[in-house]
Amino acid sequence: MGITVSAPAKLFLLGEHAVVFDGTCIVTAVNSRLSVSLERSDEALLTINAPDVRLTNYQKPMSAISEQFDKADASSFIRSSVAVFAERCAFDGGLSISTRSEFKREYGIGSSSAVVAATLFGLSQLFGAEFSHEELLHMGFEAIQRVQQLGSGADLAAAIYGGTLYYENRSPRTVVALPVENLPLVVIYSGYKASTVDYVWEVGKLRDRHPEVINPIIEVMLTIVEQGRLAIEEANWQTFGDLMNIQHGLLHALGVDTSSLAHIVLRAREAGAWGAKLSGAGGGDCAIILTDNPHIGTILEDMNDRIAKLDIQPNAEGVRLEI
């Protein structure tokens, strides 16, 4: 008998990039989910079917699942998750894992973190291991590091815990659930896919070249996260919007803004939004707009054919059992 579990995608509200340098951020889970079905098999093989990333009947002996992790290989995050789990909870035989995503990978809203969170949670359910959210975060962080050697783990925390989180990328990593109701957020795809890993590297290199300039920018971003936490707790959208605008300006200074994202953000502000910014590593993917204007999607989509309003809402549930 197999089981199906799911995990949500996510959006960064504040603190992206700063969180990588032992910092903090605010991240929210969104109601677009990735499901993972898992079944045990007698033969010691890992079989993966993941049509969204063009994996059909991919097979690897269980003894070889840790060979050559590469972020460009769509099987890597599942293999590394299974490997990390098996090191803590050994089992005989093999596994058949299939995934299905409600959101497109190019939106950049967290397919890798959702697949890692759901795979680990699914395995934990399948084998009755009952790992806590904290343990899953620890294991998932390890699985992601094995594939891409970087990342704050904030996206993973959102996929596991759900809701809207204040996240500290320090030892020990801490997650604080923020009380958020009716966060008036509109999500806009900029029309271009970007590689998170490349942009994290570029920002790291910029910091190495100009530490006296970039370190203070990161410090201000962390102050914005602290102020944003208070504003979100008070549902003070004027203040939260101001902080989003300033964070976008600082992300622009780090070189991760694009013309499409900049146009979306400026047009949204002209249309009266409280705040608008890129969300995540930058270079493309999505912008988020804090607004109660019901026409904002149409206003922004009218600018260009590639721009699309996504029908997703923040503050969604974390990992859960489906069947």
- 301-308: long-range contacts (C-beta < 8 A, 24 or more apart)? 303/263, 303/264, 303/267, 304/191, 304/260, 304/263, 305/191, 306/190, 306/191, 306/192, 306/260, 307/188, 307/189, 307/190, 307/191, 307/260, 307/264, 308/188, 308/189, 308/191
Residue span binding ligand PMV (CB under 6 A) among the ranges 60-68, 147-155, 171-179, 310-318: 147-155
Kindly tell me which residue out of 4, 9, 17, 190 binds ligand PMV, with binding defined by CB under 6 A: 17
Nearer to ligand PMV, 151 or 241 (CB): 151
Nearer to ligand PMV, 151 or 275 (CB): 151
Kindly tell me which residue out of 119, 196, 245, 258 binds ligand PMV, with binding defined by CB under 6 A: 196
Rounded to the nearest whole angstrom, what is the least distance from the CB of residue 225 to ligand PMV in the complex? Answer: 11
Asked if residues 226 and 240 have their Cβ atoms less than 8 Å apart, the reply is no
Rounded to the nearest whole angstrom, what is the least distance from the CB of residue 144 to ligand PMV in the complex? Answer: 9
**Residue 12 in contact with ligand PMV, rule: CB under 6 A:** yes
**Residue 125 in contact with ligand PMV, rule: CB under 6 A:** no
Kindly tell me which residue out of 28, 32, 81, 152 binds ligand PMV, with binding defined by CB under 6 A: 152
| CA 154, chain centre distance (Å) | 7
Asked if residues 232 and 166 have their Cβ atoms less than 8 Å apart, the reply is no
Burial 74-89 (b: 16+ CB within 10 A, else e): bbbbbbbbbbbbbeee
**Residue 168 in contact with ligand PMV, rule: CB under 6 A:** no
**Matching residue, tokens 């780090």:** 254
Distance CA 174, CA 170 (A): 7
Kindly tell me which residue out of 9, 13, 14, 19 binds ligand PMV, with binding defined by CB under 6 A: 19
Rounded to the nearest whole angstrom, what is the least distance from the CB of residue 203 to ligand PMV in the complex? Answer: 7
**Which residue in 118, 105, 102 sits closest to 159, CA to CA?**
118
Asked if residues 268 and 300 have their Cβ atoms less than 8 Å apart, the reply is yes
Rounded to the nearest whole angstrom, what is the least distance from the CB of residue 145 to ligand PMV in the complex? Answer: 11
- The torsion angle over the Cα atoms of residues 11, 185, 191 and 196, rounded to 10 degrees, is -20
Kindly tell me which residue out of 8, 151, 275, 297 binds ligand PMV, with binding defined by CB under 6 A: 151
**Residue 200 in contact with ligand PMV, rule: CB under 6 A:** yes
Q: Give the catalytic positions in this structure.
A: 155
**Residue 155 in contact with ligand PMV, rule: CB under 6 A:** yes
**Angle at the Cα of 179 (from 173 to 181), degrees rounded to 5?**
135
Kindly tell me which residue out of 14, 38, 281, 319 binds ligand PMV, with binding defined by CB under 6 A: 281
| CA 56, chain centre distance (Å) | 25
Instruction: Give, as ranges, the residues between 52 and 111 that touch ligand PMV (CB under 6 A).
Output: 108
Rounded to the nearest whole angstrom, what is the least distance from the CB of residue 93 to ligand PMV in the complex? Answer: 34
Instruction: Locate 216 and state its tokens.
Output: 């203070």
Nearer to ligand PMV, 235 or 250 (CB): 250
Rounded to the nearest whole angstrom, what is the least distance from the CB of residue 40 to ligand PMV in the complex? Answer: 32
Distance CA 13, CA 158 (A): 12
Closest residue to bound ligand PMV by CB: 280
Nearer to ligand PMV, 16 or 124 (CB): 16
Rounded to the nearest whole angstrom, what is the least distance from the CB of residue 249 to ligand PMV in the complex? Answer: 16
Instruction: Give, as ranges, the residues between 284 and 313 that touch ligand PMV (CB under 6 A).
Output: 285
Distance CA 282, CA 194 (A): 7
Distance CA 155, CA 161 (A): 10
- Residue ranges binding ligand PMV (CB under 6 A): 12, 16-17, 19-20, 108, 151-152, 154-155, 196, 200, 280-281, 285
